[in-house]
Amino acid sequence: MTSLPSNSVITLSRLFKLFTGEMGQLLADDAFMQALPVPTVPFRIYAGTAGIRGRLSPFGHEPNDGVLAVSETALGPNQPVIPVRAVHTFIMNTTAVADDIKDTVSAILAPVVVKATPGRA
């Protein structure tokens, strides 16, 4: 792979800052990201896989959503990543995510069926 001239890197850096603002800068800061705690409540990680792959992609051949590689979404071996065929902005709009949320909430809110004990009212 050929390297970019230093002025191109500076231009890309400025573009990154322009498009992503403060949050983009924090996402690029390894120390900040490592300091974030893992949630202590149940949660899901949905990772988009519809980003461009290949020689011209900044992600190479790795599955990505156009902003993050799937591997960048993992929070550890005990928290699975759910792949979704969507680009970053539209992950939460997919039927797969909506159905998963609906099923999860339904399971949590499902009434508990209590069997009546014979002879008791």
Distances (CA, A) of 61 to 30, 54, 83: 23, 5, 16
Q: What is the pLDDT of residues 102-121, one digit of tens each?
A: 999 999 888 665 566 666 65
Amino acid at 61: H
96 by Cβ neighbours in 10 Å (0-12 / 13-18 / 19+) ranks as middle
CA distance 66 to 58: 9
Question: Where is mean pLDDT largest: 45-49, 79-83, 105-109?
Answer: 45-49
Tell whether pTM > 0.85. no
Would you say residue 4 has pLDDT above 50? no
Write the pLDDT tens digit of every residue in 52-63. Answer: 999 989 899 999
**pLDDT per position as a tens digit, 12-23:** 566 666 777 887
Q: How far is CA 15 from the centre of its chain?
A: 23
Whether residue 8 has pLDDT greater than 50: no
Q: In the chain, at which residue ranges do the beta strands (DSSP E only) sit?
A: 45-48, 81-84
